[in-house]
Each structure stands twice: as structure tokens, then as C-alpha cells.
Chain A
């Protein structure tokens, strides 16, 4: 059978889209029925605890980015700015603020108001954002403070005692969160239910890691910036659910198939330029942004977004079901720390990824809206260029605000980047060919 005609190829994109739409429909249902909605964030979402109590997780970051993907973000941003928000602050926050003012109206459905907000300190804007809901709704806001790495990994190794006390701190706060959830729902904590939820998260993580790993194949099997973002949406929204776990198991199967049959996301994967994406995509022109690379044969084999925004699913860590709460605390600590590392100290990880994925180039995309992700990128680029023979592209725009997205300027820079990659490839091929000829001339024939 022609592999292209095989129904397994493209299944992930199809199913992911359906699941995601269903998930938003479910949120509309929650809004209409006044059920409990817990506002959470992608870094340290604690979906597992919310599911244990039957609280529906709502991801304001995902809601906001969807307004940009669906090209209505400007309506929301303008409304927030009319209320006094600066053009220079996070567009996600502003879009959500406007969404709340509009009674949850969203292009994918209706977003329920929060019964509780659960956040970590993985991003400082989370804290400011939650304070807005607190003022609006006077509902419980529970912060789980997760200490990050104190220095760049490699320059400092925490002692076992350091790790243990951080874990104790997180675990204690999780127990405090459980008290809040018990009070909110009137339901006693059921550790067996938590165990079940953790089990499906373990399955989801196993499959997700396999998906990421399979992109080492040549050609790559998916675009980590474009498709990876769709998968991330499912990974966050359906984390801790059976359908989420099954989706990723199916996805891993699809990617195995594509790897076996050399099926690339590009029309012709043979001439692919293997790239690593650093940052958050340009959602106001998401598809076009992807095309600016794919038209040149660029494929993102890895993306830091799939590291820091996957809630730790990318890490080789599984919950120990014999001690669920302690293990959840360990997992939250590890996932938030590594998410921080992949934004604050990512140069070492990038260098490793360049080697592992055989990358030809790195694309840095700092954005106005997110200083956590963007602040260190220019400096990281300097270090990566010193250590690896790759080309790096540094382009600035935004994930929400199309006023700072100039497609013509992006295209100009991206075209020049690929011209460099192409000529470099030709030079390398010529050099390899010359070396081979020289070798054959100097080798005496029998």
C-alpha cells in the first residue's frame, strides 16, 4: 500500500483537532451548567489533582493563543488596552482579561469563569495574571511555589538535601491545595483516584517522549513547531485523561510508521534543512509563519516549546504509583525546574539537541509578549554559535499582537537564512566530493 494513502498518516493532526474542539465544547458545557472550572497554566498545571476532584481544567494561555490563531486577538487586545493595559505587556494576559470582560466569549465556545486558580511561579506573569482574577471574582488563588535551578545546570549541582527540601516544600503546598479543593468541591481526597490519573499521565508521557525521539529520523516525521504545537495543546488540555493517553499512543504509532517509511511533513523530505525552534510561535500568522520555513525545505526537528510547555512530559520521569502524592510533588518540582532551565539556561540543552537531532540551524524567535522565554535568547545565540557550526536566525515578533508582526521583514530575514543554509550545504557537498576524489586518486589501484 502506498504509505501516503495509509489512514494512519495524518491521524494525529485529525484526531488532535477533533479532541481539541470537543474539549472546548466541554468548556462551553461547564460554563452553561455552572460546574467548577479551575484555571491553570501549562507549566505546572496540576491537572492531575483537578481531575481527581472533578474540577474542569481551563488553560487561559491556550484560550488566548486561539484568539490569535483565529485572527481575532486584536479585538481582545484593544479592549484590554482601552481598560488601561500597556501595549508592552503580555498579550495572553490582555486577551484573557478582555475575554473575562466579554463574559467568556471565545471563538471556540464559551469559557467558564474560574472557581479556583492554581498556578506555579514558573512564569512571573502567571502571578500577575491570577491577581487579576482574584480582583474580578474573589475566588481562591492557590500558588504552588516551585524553586527553580539556582544556577545553570553544569555549573552547580544541588545536593540530595537541597532536592529533598524543595520536594518537601512542594509536597506541603500540594497538601494545602488539596484542602482548598476539598473545600471547593465538598469531596474528600481520593488517593486511588489520583493514582488512576497519574497512571494515564505516565502513559501519555511515555508516548510523547517516543514521538519527540522519533524526530531524530531522516527525514523528520513531524514539524515540531507547527504540528508540535497542536500536539502540545492536546498534551495540556487532556493530560491525565484516558483519551489523552490513547491519542499519544496512537500518535507514537503513526510516527513509528512514518519513520519506517521515510514519510516527511515536507513534500520532499530529501533536501530538508533540519532546524531547532527556540521560543513561542508567531500565532497571528501561524500557518504562514510555518510556510516561510517549509517552502525552503525547513523542518523543525525539535522545539524548546515542546520542552517547557509540555508540563514535563518530555522528561524521563514517571510517577511512582506506590506513593502518588510524594511522586506528584517530585514530578512538579522536576517539570517546573526543567521548564525553567530550558528557558533560562537553555544553551547547553540546545547544543545537546543540535547533536542529537543533527540540526543544521537554530531559529530564535523572541517575542514581545513573553520575557521569560525571550530575554536570554540573544546571549544564548552567541554561545551556541561559538560552540557549534550551525547557522542561527534571530527574528523578533509576537505570539499575539500582529502590530509587531511584519511578514515582509520576517520573510526577508528567513529567505536570507535559507540562502545561507543552501550555499553552506553546497559548499559542504563540494568539499566532501573533493575529499572523496582526492582519496580515490591517492589510493593505489590493484
Chain B
């Protein structure tokens, strides 16, 4: 793509109208509305200003590449909606996020200029094919290494990232220089620091930041530029720390099983009535890389190496260095949690498979756990609440 012009500094497109004057609660409420809006107002605004959009399906995508090429990376994570078109494209025994993600595209609620799926599971690897048969924009698969233990995987992934970058440059019509890539790393490194701050609050003072609110703040990053997300978090984090909220008698839990299909916010809120969720894997792809990606040297290589060697875990990445059950124990102990909610989305094969290993390990370790399934379209949580309340009471009064 050497014949493309370099990305010129452009006027930042403001995607949010954050009511800073209304104070913390008003800002949090506004963020929630944006995240729950099935019509993707931030994406619409970006497109109206002439911007190009990359829709990337769960779990992880190297968004820095899109940012550097001037393309808005948007996380495609399904949503709660009536499905009118997508269901006719799928058979039974499939998760909801697959269907709702395609529904967003078929109904035009989410318009993208390029779609990328990943072979995170047997269902998702099909999504690019289905999307491509139903939509005119390019739909492709990014193969993230499932053998990160090979000494060659970093080299291969670096080259694959360069290929994807070329595709993104073709979409935007602008070449991303190394300087653009380093600037993108800087922006995302700052973003990662703020997200780590949010999770530090959850661990140290979870009463200041319930799981549903933390979720909204993380999810928003998948809908706006990271510059704007950083600006928001810069304003929010100190105010959350100063929030007037009192510690309650709730148990500290880790929520595991939110790596792909997302539980409804109301389900998270229901959990937070009885528990402090002190750590979780919700939207783990947005928090995949654990520390700053170095900007010196080859930025694309640095990003690829960080994916492999400085990253979190999920049931959909196979890495011999990261046995999932050991990683879960680490998460539970790192957050000083008393118990774990081992969840899986309905029909989510990796999640359901992992539940077995998690349950056996937690049994061995004597850590209490609560097994459940959810679906993004759930609207009734009474049954779950009763079960969870009983689980919590058993722990509190045992």
C-alpha cells in the first residue's frame, strides 16, 4: 500500500456529548444509554463525518491497526433486540450473539466498511462467510495463532497484522506510517492503564463501582475513538474514587464466562445486589494486553508479541502456558475473591466445555462456585436471583 498518502492529522470527530456538568451519575447514565442503544449513534456520527468503520467480532482484534489507519474499530458484540432477519440464516443449537450480530448488519443498524471475525469457536468462524454472503462489504477472518507456543508464531502474526493493516489502509485510503502506529500504541496504552484503574477500584473498593457500571465504561471503548474514551476515563476515574458509597455485607466473587456473548446489563445488576464482582472476563478482548506495548522498534511486531506473550486468557485461546483453570485460580486469588460465578452463554461450546474443568478445579481447591447459563436476550432474572441468593446465604451463614 506504498502509494497511499500518509494519514494527516485531522480534526477529531466528537462522538459523544458527555454531560460533564451533570456530575458523575449523569455521565454514567449517559454512558449506559450509549452502550445500550441498538442504533449505534456514535458509529452513525462517525460515518456522517465521512469516517470509515471496522466491525470486529469478539474476542480480540488489534484495534491499534485500525486507529493508525484512520478507521474506527467497533466491537461487534451482538445485543438485545427483536430479530427479524438473521434467524432465517441460522439453524438451531447456536448462540444468540452470532444471530444478533448479523441482525445488526442486515437491518442496517450497524453499518461497517469491513467486517472481521475470528475462529474463536466453530460457530464464529462461520460468521465471516455468512456475513460475506449477505453484505457487500468485505468480510474476512483474522486467524490469531492457536499455537502461540511455536517459536514462529510471533513472526507469522506480525506479517499477518501487516496484511490486515494493508486491508484497513485500502478501506480508509490512507497509509499508516510507523509514527501513526506508535501514536496509536500510545493512545491504547493509556486506555489500558485507565481500564486497569477501573479494575483496581473493583478489587480494592468494589462498592464504588458495581459490575454493571464498570461494564458500561469498558464497553464504551468499543464504540468510540480511544482518544475520546481516554478523555472520559480521565474525568471519571478520580470521581469514582471519591464517590460517596458505603461498603455493604456482600461476598466478593469473580464472574467468569463473559468473554464473548455478553450477559444483559440487568443480569449483572441482579448479581451486584448480592455480590461484589471484584474481577471478571467481561469483554476481555478490550483488556487482552496486560501492560504497555513498547513503542520503540517495530510497532506492529510489538503489538503481535504483546498479543502472544503479555496477555490475558480465555477459553477460546489455546496456549500451553495458560491452563485455563490455573488462570482462573490466579484471577480469584489475585482479586481476593471468596467465590466464583462460573457462567456460560447458552450454546457456547468453549464456555460450556470450560465450565467442566473450572468446576472440577474449584472443587479440588475448595472454592465455592455457582454455575449458570445466560443469554443476551434474557429479560427475567427472578429464578437466577433466588438461586444466587441461596448460594450467597449458604456462604454467609455456613
Contact = CB atoms under 8 A, between A and B. Distances in A.
Contact of B138 (A123, A151, A176): A151
Contacts of A83: 356
B86 to A, nearest CB: 10
A372 B125 contact: yes
Nearest to A127: B318
B130 A172 contact: no
A390 interface: no
Contact of B353 (A89, A344, A374, A394): A89
Interface string B108-140: 000000000001111101111110111000111
Contacts of A127: 146, 318
B316 interface: yes
Given A368-B92, A371-B93, A165 B156 contact: yes
B258 to A, nearest CB: 17
A171 to B, nearest CB: 9
Interface in B65-102: 88-94, 98
A88 to B, nearest CB: 6
A164 B98 CA distance: 33
Interface in B117-174: 119-123, 125-130, 132-134, 138-143, 145-147, 149-153, 155-156, 159-160, 163
Contacts of A144: 147
B49 interface: no
Contacts of A366: 91-93
B349 A379 contact: no
Nearest to B357: A135
Interface string B35-49: 000000000000000
A378 B156 contact: no
Contact of A88 (B128, B149, B346): B346
A378 B88 contact: yes
A131 B349 CA distance: 14
Contact of A145 (B93, B153, B320): B153
B347 interface: yes
Contact of B92 (A123, A132, A396): A396
A131 B120 CA distance: 15
B150 A176 contact: yes
B147 A148 contact: no
A124 B141 contact: no
A21 interface: no
A152 B143 CA distance: 14
Contacts of B141: 148-151
B352 interface: yes
Given A125-B349, A143-B147, A173-B150, A378 B318 contact: no
Contacts of B163: 162
Interface in A146-163: 147-152, 155-156, 162
A296 B141 CA distance: 41
Contacts of B156: 147, 165-166, 168-169
A344 B128 contact: yes
A143 B152 contact: no
Interface residues of B, number: 61
Given A125-B122, A128-B315, A128-B349, A152 B93 contact: no
A232 B61 CA distance: 37
Nearest to A140: B320
B146 A145 contact: yes
B122 A375 contact: yes
A291 B146 CA distance: 41
Contacts of B315: 128
Contacts of B139: 151
A383 B129 CA distance: 12
B142 to A, nearest CB: 8
Contact of B119 (A141, A148, A345): A148
B352 A86 contact: yes
A145 B146 CA distance: 6
A347 interface: yes
A370 interface: yes
Nearest to A147: B143
Interface in B328-365: 344, 346-347, 349-350, 352-357, 359-360
Nearest to A171: B152
Interface string B302-328: 000000000000011010100111000
Nearest to B356: A84
A246 to B, nearest CB: 35
Given A121-B119, A128-B353, A379 B133 contact: yes
Nearest to B121: A124
Name the residue in A124, A144, A155 with the highest tally of chain B Cβ atoms < 10 Å from its Cβ: A124
Contacts of B145: 145
Contacts of B121: 124, 371
A172 B151 contact: yes
Contact of A344 (B125, B323, B352): B125
Contacts of B350: 124, 128
Contacts of A340: 125
Contacts of B93: 88, 366, 368, 371, 374, 396
Interface of A: 83-86, 88-90, 93, 121, 123-125, 127-128, 130-132, 134-135, 141, 143-145, 147-152, 155-156, 162, 165-166, 168-169, 172-173, 176, 340, 343-345, 347, 366, 368, 370-372, 374-380, 382-383, 394, 396
30 contacts: A89-B352, A121-B143, A121-B318, A124-B121, A124-B122, A124-B349, A128-B315, A128-B350, A131-B357, A143-B146, A143-B318, A151-B140, A151-B141, A152-B129, A165-B159, A176-B150, A344-B126, A347-B133, A366-B92, A366-B93, A368-B93, A371-B93, A371-B126, A371-B349, A372-B125, A374-B91, A376-B126, A378-B89, A380-B133, A396-B91
Closest 6 CB pairs of A and B: A375-B126, A145-B147, A372-B122, A371-B122, A172-B152, A86-B352
